[in-house]
């Protein structure tokens, strides 16, 4: 049942460029990027119980790595850009994680927030390296060695690049599915539930938290690379703490207790934000109000609401 739903959704997403205007497809690209990033983010939040308020840091590291690689070092291959950017992000995550996973709850949240703000001010102040407030340009990559020179920018993004990113989401989603259902995933959840008991059952609590943190940094960087290529720009706003807040927002909106919650949250958030921004300048107000209602009335997020409706419909 679940699998059938997933297949239908993938086919649906694959059909989107054939049905709607290119504008809407470029709106969906960030949703795919955030879905990938949040799969990683939620390994740490939903499964490990560590809520980071600084994970935009790793999205930004992905974006800036893509900028440096493509515009400064002339790396064209998307595969190389992805791998190197993700590796840079994991390397950056090592010291952050080593310090942060010693703490839980509010202390972990504040520490990650602090690291995120540090990185943002680095991007802002070191103009020569990072382009300061204007950020860095990101060039169009080649996919599997093909540079699609015959396509203009939009056709490239809504055509081959869109399908590439969708495939990435499917592959990385499958990998994450395996991770959370593996022995390692079970130990993450044990550490989340009751760390002291978990230790007595042989769970290396800090070590598995550390690894989950690195995996999340990998996924966030991949999301960041896609975001940057989509806009052609690595922007310091990507590292700003409100962007970290958006990651939390999307995950809670979709439902952090569910595997698919973050993906649902990413798509809902991106589309809702797009609609609201067209209607009013106060879109943040309405999004905030929505989140407040969700947390109070539907703590299991949109996926939880869907599950409730499904259970009721079946009971009839």
Minimum gap (Å) between residue 194 Cβ and other proteins: 5
Task: Please say which residue, 25 or 203, places its beta carbon nearer to other proteins.
Answer: 203
- In the complex with other proteins, the residue whose CB is nearer, 182 or 280, is 182
Instruction: Classify residue 141 as exposed, middle or buried by CB count within 10 Å of its CB (0-12, 13-18, 19+).
Output: buried
Tell me, by CB under 8 A, how many residues bind other proteins: 25
Which residue's CB is nearer to other proteins, number 144 or number 200?
Answer: 200
Q: Applying CB under 8 A, which of residues 105, 125, 181, 284 lies at the interface with other proteins?
A: 181
Binding string to other proteins for residues 130 to 169, with x set by CB under 8 A, is what? ----------------------------------------
304 scored as a contact of other proteins (CB under 8 A): no
The answer to whether residue 170 forms part of the interface with other proteins (CB under 8 A) is no
* C-alpha of 110 from chain center: 20
> Of residues 185-204, which lie at the interface with other proteins (CB under 8 A)?
185-187, 189-190, 193-194, 196-204
* Contact between 171 and other proteins per CB under 8 A: no
Residues 204-243 that bind other proteins (CB under 8 A): 204-205, 208
Phi, psi of 33 (to 5 degrees): -60, -45
With CB under 8 A as the contact rule, the residue among 91, 171, 175, 293 that binds other proteins is 175
- Least distance in angstroms from the C-beta of 305 to other proteins: 20
Q: How far is the CB of 292 from other proteins (least distance, A)?
A: 25
Of 32-40, 151-159, 181-189, 304-312, the segment contacting other proteins by CB under 8 A is 181-189
Binding stretches for other proteins (CB under 8 A): 175, 178-179, 181-187, 189-190, 193-194, 196-205, 208
């Amino acid at each position: 049942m679940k699998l059938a739903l997933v297949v239908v959704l993938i086919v649906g997403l694959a059909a989107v460029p054939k049905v709607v205007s290119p504008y809407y497809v470029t709106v969906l690209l960030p949703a795919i990027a955030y879905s990938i990033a949040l799969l990683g983010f939620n390994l740490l939040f939903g499964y490990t119980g560590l809520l980071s308020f600084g994970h935009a840091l790793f999205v930004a590291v992905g974006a800036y790595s893509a900028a440096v690689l493509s515009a400064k070092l002339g790396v064209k291959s998307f595969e190389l850009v992805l791998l190197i950017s993700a590796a840079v992000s994991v390397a950056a995550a090592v010291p952050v994680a080593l310090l942060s996973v010693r703490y839980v709850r509010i202390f972990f949240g504040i520490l990650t927030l602090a690291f995120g703000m540090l990185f943002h001010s680095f991007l802002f102040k070191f103009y020569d390296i990072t382009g300061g407030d204007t950020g860095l340009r990101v060039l169009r990559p080649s996919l599997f060695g093909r540079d699609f020179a015959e396509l203009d920018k939009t056709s490239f993004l809504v055509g081959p690049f869109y399908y590439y990113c969708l495939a990435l989401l499917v592959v990385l989603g499958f990998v994450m599915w395996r991770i959370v259902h593996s022995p390692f995933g079970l130990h993450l959840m044990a550490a989340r539930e009751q760390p002291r008991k978990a230790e007595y059952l042989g769970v290396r609590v800090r070590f598995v938290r550390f690894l989950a943190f690195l995996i999340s940094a990998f996924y966030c960087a991949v999301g960041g690379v896609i975001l940057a290529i989509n806009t052609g720009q690595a922007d310091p706003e990507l590292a700003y703490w409100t962007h970290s807040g958006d990651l939390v927002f999307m995950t809670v909106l979709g439902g952090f207790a569910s595997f698919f919650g973050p993906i649902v949250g990413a798509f809902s958030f991106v589309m809702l934000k797009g609609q609201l921004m067209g209607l009013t300048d106060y879109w943040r107000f309405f999004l905030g109000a929505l989140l407040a209602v969700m947390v109070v009335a539907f703590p299991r997020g949109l996926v939880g609401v869907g599950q409730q409706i499904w259970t009721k419909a079946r009971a009839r």
